[in-house]
């Protein structure tokens, strides 16, 4: 299955969790799925989230595979092997946190941690049919997480049910409060985003939201496409800054190396324009959330692509068109697992105000109960 690259036995609690191999575990090398880091020295100390999990009574039983250097959307890795999507083996597992999503979907652990810079938790969660959460930017410590510097990246959990996801968030977020009962939340409607998605995806979400029987209104975010493009500019510059020293080794897979070399051409002018877009689009989302409890939309615009058709990573970057904009703004976002009429995975993404991670978990928990999405 190649979801797990290192088997661990840390901690003694009854609940098991795996962590993406961009997250330091003391005594083990952090290789980020790359042959360029095959001889990396062992980490000297745990990442902050690893320490927090152990202190909260979790048992860490593995490090998980990923799209090389966490720089890809498909989850395919030609060096370590590609994790097999358990319920949909002909489809990509999604990236970059492919191993974490696969490990949870396969029942190898109760939960797993991934990182999400442009959808890298929500995309594989949607592909593999599990829950995946991107917290508010800065809410969860990134100390001991690769890359060391990012204005987009967040550590977030995968799970098969909302109760487990909430327990992980409570462990890794020092100021995480009790998740409120849904009945105590402000009496605002869900803002259902008008989004261009494959017909079966749109139909599946419409039916699910109708079944949930919560008040809803249609909303629009005209700046989504511009925000997606700005997010690409920023991730390109920041990933190039982090990975430039590795490129000269010649040991990075060609799919990632080609993207990195293209990213190296990102100009300061492009970066400045992207930051302006960040400010505009953040304000646009904030305005909508004054009137809506959360925003609801597809996680992916289409079903996950078949492995056989996924060789060109750059051609598939558009699958993050609905997730990447919220890395740009820093809003918390979660994907809930649905299934389309073709029997293929569909993600329902919910987005809340910045810092309202607990409210978002409350809404997601209510929807998952009404739609009977939770699995043991």
Q: pLDDT tens digits for 217-233? A: 999 999 999 999 999 99
Sign, Cα dihedral of 168, 326, 144, 99: positive
CA–CA separation, 82 and 155 (whole Å): 21
DSSP string, 242-295: HHHHHHTTS-S-HHHHHHHHHHTT--HHHHHHHHHHHHHHHHHHHHHHTT-S-E
User: Among 149, 151, 311, 143, which Cα is nearest to 230's?
Assistant: 151
Taking the C-alpha atoms of residue 239 and residue 69, their distance in angstroms, rounded to an integer, is: 9
Provide mean pLDDT across the span 339-365.
Answer: 98
Q: Please state, in angstroms and rounded to a whole number, the distance separating the CA atoms of residues 344 and 190.
A: 25
Proportion of the chain above pLDDT 90, given as a percent: 97
pLDDT higher than 80, residue 34: yes
Q: If you compute the radius of gyration of the chain from its CA atoms, what whole number of angstroms results?
A: 19
Contact between 180 and 197 (Cβ < 8 Å): no
The answer to whether position 166 is within a domain reads yes
CATH number, residue 29: 3.90.1300.10
Q: Encode pLDDT of 145-203 as tens digits.
A: 999 999 999 999 999 999 999 999 999 999 999 999 999 999 999 999 988 999 999 99
Q: Is 258 among the domain residues?
A: yes
56 touches 171 (CB < 8 A): yes
Average pLDDT of the segment spanning 84-90: 98
Distance, CA of 205 to chain centre = 19
Q: Which of 20, 97, 98, 159 is catalytic?
A: 20
Q: Residue 155 domain-assigned?
A: yes
pLDDT of 302 above 80: yes
Query: Is 96 one of the annotated active-site residues of the chain?
Result: yes
Q: Is the model's pLDDT at 25 over the cut of 80?
A: yes
**Cα(200)–Cα(218) distance, integer angstroms:** 19
Q: Is 51 within a domain?
A: yes
Please, are residues 126 and 34 in contact by the beta-carbon 8 Å criterion? no
Average pLDDT, the chain: 97
| DSSP classification of residue 1 | -
Please tell me the total count of domains within the chain. 1
Residue 314 has pLDDT above 90, yes or no: no
- Residue 48 belongs to a domain: yes
pLDDT at 1 over 80: no
Q: Is the peptide bond preceding residue 96 cis, with omega within 30 degrees of 0?
A: yes
Residue 208 lies in a domain: yes
Which phi and psi (to 5°) does residue 46 adopt? Answer: -70, 150
User: Of 76-90, 307-321, 337-351, where does mean pLDDT reach its minimum?
Assistant: 307-321
Q: Which domain holds residue 270?
A: 4-370
pLDDT reported for residue 195: 87
Catalytic residue among 34, 97, 100, 120: 120
As given in the structure block, the two tokens for residue 65 are: 């595979």
Q: Are 101 and 72 in contact (CB under 8 A)?
A: no
User: Nearest 10 degrees: CA dihedral of 120, 129, 353, 239?
Assistant: 0
Q: Is residue 375 in some structural domain?
A: no
Which of 134, 202, 198 lies closest to 165 in space, CA to CA?
A: 134
- In 3D, which of 36, 69, 67, 66 has the Cα closest to residue 251? 36
Q: Going by DSSP bridges, is the β-strand pair 190-193/295-298 parallel, antiparallel, or unpaired?
A: parallel
Are 125 and 328 spatial neighbours (Cβ–Cβ below 8 Å)? no
Active site (annotated) includes residue 63: no
Instruction: Give the separation between CA 302 and CA 296, rounded to whole angstroms.
Output: 16
Identified catalytic residue from 34, 63, 96, 100: 96
What is the rounded distance in angstroms from the CA atom of residue 232 to the CA atom of residue 117? Answer: 10
Contact partners, residue 210, CB within 8 Å, separation at least 6: none
Of 371, 366, 353, 348, nearest in space to 131 by CA: 348
Tell me, yes or no, whether 32 lies in a domain. Answer: yes
Would you call 188 a catalytic residue per the annotation? no
Cα(16)–Cα(158) distance, rounded to whole angstroms?
12
Please give the model's pTM, rounded to 2 decimal places: 0.98
């Amino acid at each position: 299955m190649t979801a797990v690259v290192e088997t661990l036995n840390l901690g003694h609690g009854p609940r098991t969790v795996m962590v993406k191999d961009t997250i330091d575990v003391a005594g083990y090398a952090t290789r980020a799925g790359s042959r360029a880091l095959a001889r990396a020295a062992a980490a000297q100390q745990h990442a902050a989230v690893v320490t927090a999990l152990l202190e909260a009574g979790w048992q860490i039983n593995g490090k998980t595979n990923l799209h090389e250097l966490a720089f890809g959307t498909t989850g395919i890795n030609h060096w370590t092997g590609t994790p097999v999507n358990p319920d949909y083996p002909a489809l990509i597992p999604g990236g970059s946190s492919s191993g974490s999503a696969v490990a949870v979907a396969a029942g190898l652990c109760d939960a797993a941690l991934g990182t999400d810079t442009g959808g890298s938790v929500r995309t594989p969660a949607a592909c593999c049919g599990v829950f995946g959460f991107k917290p508010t930017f800065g809410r969860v410590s990134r100390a001991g997480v690769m890359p060391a510097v990012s204005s987009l990246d967040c550590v977030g959990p995968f799970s098969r049910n909302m109760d487990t996801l909430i327990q992980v968030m409570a462990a890794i977020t020092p100021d995480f409060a009790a998740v409120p009962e849904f009945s105590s939340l402000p009496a605002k409607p869900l803002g259902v985003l008008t989004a261009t998605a494959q017909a079966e995806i749109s139909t599946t979400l419409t039916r699910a939201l109708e079944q949930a029987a919560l008040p809803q209104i249609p909303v629009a975010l005209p700046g989504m496409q511009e925000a997606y493009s700005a997010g690409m500019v920023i991730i390109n510059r920041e990933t190039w800054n982090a990975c430039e020293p590795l490129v000269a080794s010649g040991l990075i897979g060609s799919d990632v190396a080609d993207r990195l070399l293209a990213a190296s051409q990102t100009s300061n002018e492009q970066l400045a324009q992207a930051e302006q877009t960040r400010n505009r689009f953040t304000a646009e989302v904030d305005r909508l959330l004054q009137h809506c409890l959360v925003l609801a939309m597809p996680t992916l615009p289409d079903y996950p692509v078949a492995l056989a058709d996924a060789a060109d990573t750059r051609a598939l970057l558009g699958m993050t068109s609905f997730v990447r904009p919220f890395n740009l703004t820093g809003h918390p976002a979660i994907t809930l697992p649905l299934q389309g009429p073709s029997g293929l995975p569909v993600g329902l993404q919910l987005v809340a105000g910045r810092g309202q991670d607990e409210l978002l978990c409350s809404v997601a928990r209510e929807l998952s109960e009404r739609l009977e999405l939770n699995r043991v």
